[in-house]
Structure 1
Amino acid sequence: MTYNVFEVDEDKMFYSGDDLGFTFDKENINYRIWSPPAEKVYIDIYSDDRAEDKVAEYKLEQSINGTWQVKLTADIKGNYYKIRLKKESIETSFVDPWVKAVGTNSRCGLIVDPSEVFPPTWSYDKKVELNSPVDAVIYELHVKDFSISKESGIRHKGKYTAFTERHTTNREGLLSGLAHLKELGITHVHLLPVFDFATADDMDINSYNWGYDPLFYMVPEGSYASNPANESRIYEFKKMVKVLHSHDIGVIMDVVYNHTYQTESSPFEILFPDYFYRFDRLGKFANASGVGNEIASERPMMRKYIIDSLLYWSREYHIDGFRFDLMSAVDKKTILQAAERLKKENDSIIIYGEPWTALPPQLEKHQIFKKGSQKGTDIAVFNDNFRNTIKGDNDGQKKGFIQGKTDLEKEIYEGVIGSVGFPERSLYGFTQKASETINYADSHDNLTLWDKLAFSCPGADEKTRRKMHRLAMAVLFTSQGVPFIQAGTEFLRTKFGDKNSYNSGIFVNQLKWERKTTYNEHFNYIKGLINLRSHHPAFRMINKEEIRKKIKFIQSPVNTVGFYIDNHANGDGWEKVAVFYNPNHKWTQFNLPQKRTWAIVVDDKEAGTEPIRIFYSDEVQVPPLSAMVIYSAALLTGC
């Protein structure tokens, strides 16, 4: 029977069951697949992951709502498989999208029950709990970048198990790896794609890609496993999560539901031609992703697949959050339903994404999840307004606030208050509460912040650029919202000016752990900022009413920003906190709200929670190209 995707009765063909792919009971293995156009379906069993030694084949029976099913005996467990599907006299052998385990380079599916593969005490593993996403400090990291360097001191280079090595150091004895993450004080690692992706050779440690080329969405990537042919990737992924959790570090997955790596040959297109993808007016594959296709997330079975796979990672692998790549290409209803389902299972889950696409998506305007769509949804979006204000454009020579561009005070204030807006002061935003904004200065895309400063300020010496970098970090960590940094930012990460290093290899992308030694003072400064934020809830307010009430703007000199956070904001132990940003190349005087005793905890050289200097005055001098944070508390008054 021939199906036209545009004429199919989607309600009649929708399958709501949770048993697609393999399901296991004590005595049998059941398999079900969804393919309404199929005429015949077989499952071929192999003893090897190259599909060279076929040991059995089974025919599936047609079942309800476009599905096909078969009951198998338990003795096939541990073998490999492929699906063979016939329609319109064409037979295709492939691996289905509901696969939970695969062999080397994803040539075959692996018949294994993931729930039976886990490290010791896995059942006691607990996800990281948060009162609000604003309590998080997110650290964006690529698995291979983390440990592959010879300077890392890590034995399991480029592997999931690198995250389980507890006491590693670089050549000079400074902490690296997991110990470094704990020392820095971050709360969550955001892992660049760790589902199975296409363009890395599982057997070649030097093969490199960021991973935004999805292949099988419910399978951990094999190139990061010790043995990609078997269930090692499942075991080691869970062990990685468990060890990170034991150090109070959550795990966020970068997910790519806007496109697939393959198009005509993808398993989705084989199952039901043209159903899972969008098309333009000329009948060609739509391309909101910019790489050749665009997933039709609004179709019921694709929406189900997306939500099912997210829930699978949350349940099976204990994932703490999800970041959506090109989130605006996924329809709003799917995003909202996914968030609702995930939130029901984990109050502390963090969900955020890019509120844009590469090219316009084939969706109606009301279907697009854009900046502002997140209001009141417990979903956050990347704040590119704040990013561009801080540093200028991503890859060009345009300057931002930290490089001395003038007339940006208003935009900085908008970011400082978590983009909740303050119309009475002509400040506008796109959030309903501060937890909806991801505040960042750089990410894996584009130039690193350090490289951007070199490119946009070619005449500035390194000392000057280090000051600019510190100022950017101080702005991020003293602003309301959710702070996000790229791995290595704490020791001035460079990719040698490569603005799109997705396949540039290990030398460019690896974390250069020797830089922690070279720039240890800078590392300690960032660590201090994180410590300040983590211990002082004044920087982590949530609702806009409190933010508008407690943050007071100081009349400050031209091209500077000053504000104080008043009255033990958000239960903070400090009565008043004053923050100043001075991007000018000269000392600048700020007037304080009143004459009293103040303690400096952040200046141009140090950052933290302990007083650097105590003074009694109603004014303060802030060094060039720096931030300053001071506080006044009951214990300091009366001096």
Structure 2
Amino acid sequence: MVEILDTHEFIYNGNDLGTVYSHDNTIFKVWAPTIDKVSVIVYNSFNDKSGQKYEMNKIENGVWELKLIGNYKNKYYNYLVLNDGIERETPDIYTKGASDSGKKGMIVDFSSINPDNWENHKRPTSINRTESIIYEIHIRDFSSSEDSGIKSKGKYLAFTEKNTKTPNGVITGLDHLKDLGITHVHLLPVYDFASLDETKERYNWGYDPYLYNVPEGSYATNSSDGTVRIKEFKLMVQTLHENGIFVIMDVVYNHTFTKESSPMDILVPKYYYRTDDDGNYTNGSGCGNEIASEKPMVRKFIVDSIKFWSQEYKIDGFRFDLMSLYDIDTMREVENEVKIINPNIIIYGEPWTGGPTSLPEYRQLRKGSQRGMQISIFNDDLRNAIKGDNDGNSLGFVNGGEGFELEIKKGIVGGIRYNNSIYNFAQNPGETINYVSSHDNLCLYDKFEKSNPNNTPLEREKMNRLALSIVLTSQGVPFIQGGTEILRTKQGNHNSYNAGDMINKISWDRKSEFTETYEYIKGLIALRKSQKVLTLDNDNDVRNSLKFLESPYKCVAYELTSTFTDDYSKLLIIHNANKNEIKFIMPDTDEWLIIANEFEVNMRGVCRGAKTCQNEILISSLSTFILCKS
């Protein structure tokens, strides 16, 4: 029966599933072709225990419809679904609002909820994806620390507060993001997820979806009133936009928190999920199920949802969890549809699964299959080359490993085919997300504490700095785990998805403890944003502009020649992973200005120490030096 639903007879192409509200009436439409009977139950408020029941009519393509006359603005509703003699109540998978913990869906009148000037607020100026600098953060982690100076701790509104500081006067919050210079904030899941009771102060990363088109209520100041989460979410987006920062959502369409009790499975049993020949749910996500993106109405739901967030919430990008569980055709349609809405939207994801999947490999979006698309993928090859494994004791380029120079060069060129020995998975550098840590696994500093216990704290700080300097000077799209710029720690917890604020919070006092590293990373970001030759998005441009130079053991050096009028004519970047100072022979006899050394980045060439060099230069241990010619 499930296969029959993929035929033309049962495919609905309309854009009105869910509710369509107007002052005079509300129209409900739900796709449930195998269900015996569907009714709508309408509640006057979020805390009503009983509501008014209305039977729906079955129309074409498996859709049930009901039109209610009257004004149902911001009231609540669910569906009553009769199947094989059993009636169950469920929210609508297309609902755009909800009461606490998704108990009831909501008939939303967005115009009555929107913040002032929402429709016309100023968004950041469009940039190329390689000009992006992505900063990944969890809503609670950003503000929950006692020293954050932020009033709305753990809430959307934390991102709207200005002039926040620690008791010692250190800048935090929104002003920290602006000062650091990042372009995009990547928010860990902010749709409605099922692992928390939203009325209680609990912690979870949120990779357990429930209602995909509803903001998570635990981050709102009132999780019961469905209007509050919508308004406060939009206030967060609006404030970030008006301060020059784009907003990226982490989306998890690859699985649901539960199977049989999910709204998807109640409305159309087993259709939305992949199953084996015996009808058992397959588990490519590692979470007990996987969504069948290749089925027409599943693909439609994913595309509709992404379009909704892009249009209604003005979201600027999407990070797809376990993106190899999505078929390539679905991701192509996502790409095509969102680029119509906003050509500047950035799309990226993980090019792997969470376990064996029934989706054939040739249909999966894996490393290499994105070539030529405006979809970027995480470069775990560069990540591992820089630091070694994620949670263990193995070593990479910056923390004592040997033989990683070639892999580092592959990352520096943005994963493109640079020559017959330096090549990886990308056609153009914008297809690679360059990173060294994320919410998963050990924080970068925790990794170095584990893998390098015999190094000094200063050496581990320099490793942290060197690792980020490779990410921020390579071709491609740089991605920073929030807090890495101030040596964030989670006390060695490598899987802190439910470990609470004490482990996960950004401890802002570390910014004053590691001021030099913070200023160094801030300086690298400013340098990257000022030099177009660092943000190329064409493979030929990279090959023509970048030249690797002979360099000592455990050192990678290269020269960038720019044709852009605002750039330095040449940049020379040297990454020294040795624990000792090295001598580097310059590529010519000209005088070069030193704009970054082991202490600081200063584009005016007034770094501490020598200002210029000629013929040769001494490169300090565990450091990146950058030189230029005007």
Which bin holds the TM-score, normalised by the shorter protein? over 0.9
Name the counterpart of 2:596: 602
Please say if residues 22 and 71 of structure 2, whose CA atoms lie closer than 8 Å, have aligned partners that are also in contact: no
- The answer to whether residue 33 in structure 2 is matched with residue 36 in structure 1 is yes
Match of 1:502 among 497, 502, 509: 497
Name the counterpart of 1:138: 134
Mapped to 2, the partners of 1:571 and 1:373 lie a distance apart of 35
Mapped to 1, the partners of 2:45 and 2:540 lie a distance apart of 62
Mapped to 2, the partners of 1:151 and 1:166 lie a distance apart of 15
Match of 1:512 among 481, 489, 507: 507
Describe how 1:119-518 pairs up with structure 2 within 5 A: 119-205=115-201, 207-230=202-225, 231-424=227-420, 426-518=421-513
Name the counterpart of 1:556: 551
SS of residue paired to 1:334: helix
Distance change >3 Å, CA 372–CA 115, structure 1 → 2: farther
Name the counterpart of 2:44: 47
Name the counterpart of 1:523: 518
Deviations 1:527-561 (A, max 9, x none): 11111111111211111111111111111111211
Name the counterpart of 1:628: 625
- The answer to whether residue 12 in structure 2 is matched with residue 15 in structure 1 is yes
Offset of 1:280 from its aligned partner?
Answer: 2.4
Mapped to 2, the partners of 1:79 and 1:546 lie a distance apart of 55
- The answer to whether residue 39 in structure 2 is matched with residue 6 in structure 1 is no
Name the counterpart of 1:82: 78
Please say if residues 579 and 630 of structure 1, whose CA atoms lie closer than 8 Å, have aligned partners that are also in contact: yes
Deviations 1:164-200 (A, max 9, x none): 1111011111110000000000000000000000112
Offset of 1:454 from its aligned partner?
Answer: 0.4
Deviations 1:71-101 (A, max 9, x none): 1133333332221011221111111101110
Mapped to 2, the partners of 1:14 and 1:51 lie a distance apart of 35
Offset of 1:421 from its aligned partner?
Answer: 1.9
Mapped to 1, the partners of 2:220 and 2:191 lie a distance apart of 12
Please say if residues 127 and 319 of structure 1, whose CA atoms lie closer than 8 Å, have aligned partners that are also in contact: no
SS of residue paired to 1:7: helix
Deviations 1:31-58 (A, max 9, x none): 111100122111112234355132x111
Specify every segment of 5 or more residues in structure 2 that has no aligned partner in the other structure, as ranges.
none
Please say if residues 159 and 226 of structure 1, whose CA atoms lie closer than 8 Å, have aligned partners that are also in contact: yes
Please say if residues 21 and 108 of structure 2, whose CA atoms lie closer than 8 Å, have aligned partners that are also in contact: no
Aligned residues: CA RMSD: 1.3
Mapped to 1, the partners of 2:70 and 2:303 lie a distance apart of 29
Mapped to 2, the partners of 1:46 and 1:614 lie a distance apart of 71
Mapped to 2, the partners of 1:615 and 1:243 lie a distance apart of 42
SS of residue paired to 1:403: coil
* Superposition TM-score, scaled by structure 1 size: 0.96
Deviations 1:15-46 (A, max 9, x none): 11111111022311111111001221111122
Mapped to 1, the partners of 2:499 and 2:438 lie a distance apart of 16
Please say if residues 49 and 103 of structure 1, whose CA atoms lie closer than 8 Å, have aligned partners that are also in contact: yes
SS of residue paired to 2:13: coil
Offset of 1:517 from its aligned partner?
Answer: 1.4
* Superposition TM-score, scaled by structure 2 size: 0.97
Distance change >3 Å, CA 433–CA 571, structure 1 → 2: farther
Please say if residues 21 and 107 of structure 2, whose CA atoms lie closer than 8 Å, have aligned partners that are also in contact: no
Please say if residues 284 and 358 of structure 2, whose CA atoms lie closer than 8 Å, have aligned partners that are also in contact: yes
Name the counterpart of 1:636: none
Mapped to 2, the partners of 1:299 and 1:235 lie a distance apart of 34
Specify every segment of 5 or more residues in structure 1 that has no aligned partner in the other structure, as ranges.
634-639
Name the counterpart of 1:618: 615
Mapped to 2, the partners of 1:242 and 1:39 lie a distance apart of 44
Deviations 1:312-332 (A, max 9, x none): 000000000000000000111
Mapped to 1, the partners of 2:374 and 2:333 lie a distance apart of 12
Deviations 1:505-528 (A, max 9, x none): 110001111111111121111111
Please say if residues 21 and 73 of structure 2, whose CA atoms lie closer than 8 Å, have aligned partners that are also in contact: no
Distance change >3 Å, CA 363–CA 570, structure 1 → 2: farther
Match of 1:70 among 40, 51, 66: 66
Name the counterpart of 2:587: 593
SS of residue paired to 1:85: strand
Mapped to 1, the partners of 2:111 and 2:361 lie a distance apart of 41
Mapped to 2, the partners of 1:572 and 1:433 lie a distance apart of 23
SS of residue paired to 1:593: coil
Equivalenced residue count is: 626
